[in-house]
């Protein structure tokens, strides 16, 4: 049986000051599976900085600097989170929303290239072209 005792009892987390929380449904109901890595990063950031209503007012350049992403990544992630109804956005106001009842449609898995194609074939073709 796995022990439930803290590994370092002198450093158990305590809530001090403000409090942010993540709904366990993100993991257990499959919502994370529908988010890109930048969407997850932005979502977790907005949860962290949001007030008790999920509101935050960070400017896009500050978010980009803190998350080490560019403006295009921010805009794409924000649009994806809005489309999935995880957040609302207006002007410079963000609101983390209550999760929808069910996870959205799954992201399409990348289709693997057929056997014998891809980088190795392209490299073989390049080498053949160079030897001509």
Question: What was the pLDDT predicted at 122?
Answer: 62
pLDDT tens for residues 11-26? Answer: 888 777 777 888 999 9
Mean pLDDT, rounded, for 104-131: 57
Assign 123 a pLDDT band (cuts: 50, 70, 90). low
Q: How far apart are CA 64 and CA 56, in angstroms?
A: 15
| Beta-carbon contacts of residue 85 (< 8 Å; ≥ 6 apart) | 97, 100, 104
Q: Distance from CA of residue 93 to its chain's centroid?
A: 19
User: So what CATH class is 18-106?
Assistant: mainly alpha
Angle between helices 37-49 and 71-83 (to 10 degrees): 80
First to last CA, the chain: 65
pLDDT tens for residues 35-89? Answer: 999 999 999 999 999 998 999 999 999 999 999 999 999 999 999 999 999 999 9
pTM of the model: 0.71
């Amino acid at each position: 049986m796995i022990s439930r005792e803290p590994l370092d009892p002198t450093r158990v987390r305590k809530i001090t000051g403000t409090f942010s929380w993540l709904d366990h449904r993100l993991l257990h109901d499959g919502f994370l599976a529908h988010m890109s890595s930048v969407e997850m990063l932005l979502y977790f950031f907005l949860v962290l900085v949001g007030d008790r209503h999920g509101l935050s007012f960070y400017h896009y350049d500050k978010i980009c600097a803190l998350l080490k992403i560019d403006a295009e990544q921010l805009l794409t992630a924000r649009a994806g989170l809005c489309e999935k109804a995880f957040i609302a956005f207006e002007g410079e106001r963000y609101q983390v929303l209550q999760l929808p009842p069910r996870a959205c449609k799954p992201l399409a898995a990348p289709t693997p290239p057929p056997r014998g194609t891809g980088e190795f074939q392209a490299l073989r073709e390049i080498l053949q072209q160079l030897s001509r």
